[in-house]
Copies of this chain bind each other. A is one copy, B any other.
């Protein structure tokens, strides 16, 4: 007996009819010209065509400084992908010249790429404020195989740190939603490159606070060559409600609640969480922390002594205290499936059963894409008699990203020459560029980049241009343990499998006669509900037999590729006619 499998899977070419494992076509690698003297190059590698994966390279002479190294969270557009990373190939090819990675603040869209990318960057020293440093270290614990990081904690704001003879870095304080948020100034021979990181402006009814005015005073006498700024909030007019106003509302709710108060917010809202501890203390209430990321951040708060946390109790002691003596701070305001609040809402929480004296505060907005899961959370919460308070009922949340009025105010504090909007989708950057023009910046001094755009400030800081060439900018992704290019074919197959499933045919053909040895077998997943489809399957088997025998009988030797093509086409057409669906059809034809 001779067995001859023509479905070699990944080993042979034969099964690649759909070309399922082909590399996505890469653009020819641009030959990027070397950096000319007296020219500063700025290359945004991520964060300028999306929200997330922020990373920008600044290059002068023989030196490169990188600002931030973030991840982007994924959605149903990229099934199976865990995170999207900036493409760092430009930097990998120049890693010997990277002098520093400088971090604006400790959120994942600014630090989350470090474990995946730091080796590719040649393990440069990392400059960060302390809170960011602790978050970076905490995260690095999950990657024990990596070399230790070379972290330099920067604690003074009032002096520049020389990274190279020609490039210094200086941090400046600004307002966001996590302690030690900073903007970064890269001092070059031709002036400052200023990067705000994420920024909002604390204000009362549109009047920035004293502290904000103070923070930006330093720019009065500086020579700002290029200003780059967060564009996330550009679409929203005016000023955000002040954090003080939010905290007053929450203080009032906590002070008057008849029973437990459960506050759900992002673990990343560290500054607000610190205030919750103070509010609970004021009313003599205990604090319960629920959710892993929340506990992690509270550990750091405690480690740094940022607030008295002596009134924290473990969740299993919650029953030992009167309900109106409990404030719980929990994750899950985005409807995350297994987060603390969702478990309370769907009655699977081990220690907390919601009741009518409970007050639940959703101190967060809905992140675009999470509308559905937040809806489910609210549905489940409203099945209880607890009182639910969201930002629609009362101001219990304000964003860490300034609205248009705040952005405009910051622009006015910084006398810059060139402007480059960053952090946002392309349309947000364009809207931010329009704002800069409206404020008087000439169009030729504004540059809206794409990921991988190579922007140069040439002729000793006198003009800004975009090179025709681009740095590689295809998505890089984290998937399971793998970091690499995203395969468009893989994603396309996943989407097809999700919509229409698969239909594998296994048929044994007698090579001498070209006839089937027996009725073919079919394996299917995700296609249709088969128990009710016996007739369809019987018809499919008849079509498979006919398709194979029509081509194979009398063919000598049998061209199995040809036979498989025929089966694939006939079966796909039949299934589509019968069901209006297009499963991935995979014929496996074994010769016996």
Chain A residues within CB distance 8 Å of chain B: 1, 3, 5, 7-11, 15, 18, 20-23, 49, 75-77, 79-80, 235-237, 368-369, 371-372, 375, 378-379, 381-383, 388, 392, 425-427, 430-431, 479-482, 484-485, 487, 490, 493-495, 497-502, 504, 506, 508, 517-518, 521-534, 537, 578-581, 584, 586, 588, 590, 592
Across-interface contacts of A533 in B (CB, < 8 A)? 10
Contact present for B506 and A502 (CB under 8 Å): no
Complexed CA–CA distance, A490 and B502 (Å): 11
Residues of B within 8 A of A75 (CB): 372
A-B contact pairs, 16 of them (CB 8 A): A5-B506, A7-B521, A7-B523, A9-B504, A20-B525, A79-B499, A235-B392, A375-B427, A379-B427, A481-B580, A482-B579, A497-B526, A504-B586, A506-B590, A521-B588, A523-B586
With both beta carbons as reference points, the residue of chain B lying nearest to A4 in the complex is identified as B518
* Chain B residues with CB below 8 A from A235, complex form: 392
Chain B contacts for A23, CB-based, 8 A: 531
Select the residue from A372, A383, A388, A482 with max chain B CB neighbours within 10 A: A482
Cβ–Cβ contact B501 & A80, under 8 A: yes
Task: Count this chain's copies in the assembly.
Answer: 2
Chain B residue nearest to A82 (CB atoms) is: B580
Q: When the two chains form their complex, are residues A382 and B426 in contact, meaning their CB atoms are under 8 A apart?
A: yes
| CB–CB B490/A494 < 8 A | no
User: Do A378 and B523 touch across chains, with their CB atoms under 8 A apart?
Assistant: no
Q: How far is the CA of A490 from the CA of B531 in the complex (A)?
A: 12
In the complex, the answer to whether A9 meets B493 with C-beta atoms within 8 Å is: no
B425 to A10, Cβ gap below 8 A? no
Q: Which residue of B501, B530, B580 is within 8 Å of A494 (Cβ)?
A: B501
Interchain residue pairs A-B with the least CB separation, the first 7: A480-B580, A498-B498, A76-B76, A497-B497, A9-B522, A79-B498, A382-B427
**Pick the contact of A21 from B77, B369, B388, B529 — CB < 8 Å?**
B529
Q: Which of B381, B426, B586 contacts A383 (CB 8 A)?
A: B426
Most chain B CB inside 10 Å of its own CB: which residue of A237, A427, A504: A427
**Inter-chain contact A502/B508, CB cutoff 8 Å:** no
CB-CB under 8 A from A79, the residues of chain B are: 498-499
B497 lies within 8 A of A523 (CB): no
Report the nearest B residue to A9, measured CB to CB: B522
Instruction: Give Cα A426 to B346, complex, Å.
Output: 14
How far apart are A423's CB and chain B's nearest CB, in angstroms?
A: 14
Closest chain B CB from A48 CB (angstroms): 11
Q: Which residues of B contact A427 (CB under 8 A)?
A: 375, 378-379, 381-382, 388
- CB of A333 to closest CB in B, whole Å: 14
Chain B residues with Cβ under 8 A from A7's Cβ? Answer: 506, 521, 523
Minimum CB–CB distance for A81 against chain B, Å:
9
Which of A18, A80, A431, A584 counts the most chain B CB atoms within 10 A? Answer: A80
Q: Assess A368 versus B372: contact at CB under 8 Å? Given A5-B521, A525-B502.
A: yes
* Contact across chains for A497 and B506 when beta carbons are under 8 A apart: no
Contact A517/B3 with A525-B493, A588-B506 known, Cβ cut-off 8 Å: yes
Q: Which residues of chain B come closer than 8 Å to A497, judged between CB atoms?
A: 494, 497-498, 501-502, 525-526
Give the nearest-CB partner of A586 in chain B.
B523
User: Residues of B contacting A504 with CB < 8 Å?
Assistant: 9, 504, 523, 586
B526 touches A8 (CB 8 A): no
Q: Is the CB of A499 within 8 A of B5?
A: no
- Which B residues are in CB contact (< 8 Å) with A371? 368-369, 371
A456 vs chain B, min Cβ distance (A): 22
CA separation between A7 and B507, bound complex, in Å? 11
Interface centre among A10, A485, A533 (most CB of B within 10 A): A10
A375 touches B498 (CB 8 A): no
Q: How far is the CB of A166 from chain B (nearest CB, A)?
A: 36
Inter-chain contact B3/A592, CB cutoff 8 Å: yes
CB distance from A389 to the nearest CB of B (A): 12
What chain B residues lie within 8 Å of A526 (beta carbons)? 80, 490, 493-494, 497
Would you call B80 and A498 a contact (CB within 8 A)? yes
Q: Is the CB of B9 within 8 A of A482?
A: no
A80 near B493: Cβ-Cβ < 8 Å: no
7 further interface pairs, Cβ-Cβ under 8 Å (given A9-B524, A80-B501): A3-B592, A9-B523, A18-B525, A382-B430, A480-B581, A482-B579, A506-B588
Cβ-defined partner of A521 (8 Å) among B8, B527, B530 = B8
Asked if B378 contacts A425 (CB within 8 A), the reply is yes
Q: How far, in whole Å, are A495 and B75 apart by their CA atoms in the complex?
A: 13
Contact partner of A379 (CB less than 8 A), chosen from B379, B425, B528, B590, is: B425
B80 touches A579 (CB 8 A): no
**Closest partner residue, chain B, to A24 (CB atom):** B529
User: Which residues in B have their C-beta under 8 angstroms from that of A10?
Assistant: 522, 524, 530-531, 533-534, 537
Complex: chain B residue closest to A12, CB-CB: B521
CA gap between A493 and B524 in the complex, in Å: 10
**Chain B residue at minimal CB-CB distance from A392:** B235
CB-defined contacts of A531 to chain B, threshold 8 Å: 10, 21-23
Residue pair A5, B518 in contact (C-beta under 8 Å): yes
> Bound complex: CA of A517 vs CA of B502, how far in Å?
27
**Would A528 and B482 count as touching, CB distance under 8 A?**
yes
A133 to chain B minimum Cβ distance, whole angstroms, is 27
Residues from chain B with a CB closer than 8 A to the CB of A579 are 480-482
Residues of B within 8 A of A530 (CB): 10, 21
**Residue in contact with A529 in the complex, picked from B426, B490, B518, B534, CB distance below 8 Å:** B490
Shortest CB–CB separation between residue A463 and chain B, in angstroms? 22
Docked-complex contact B523 and A15, CB < 8 angstroms = yes
Assess the B375–A425 pair: CB atoms within 8 A: yes
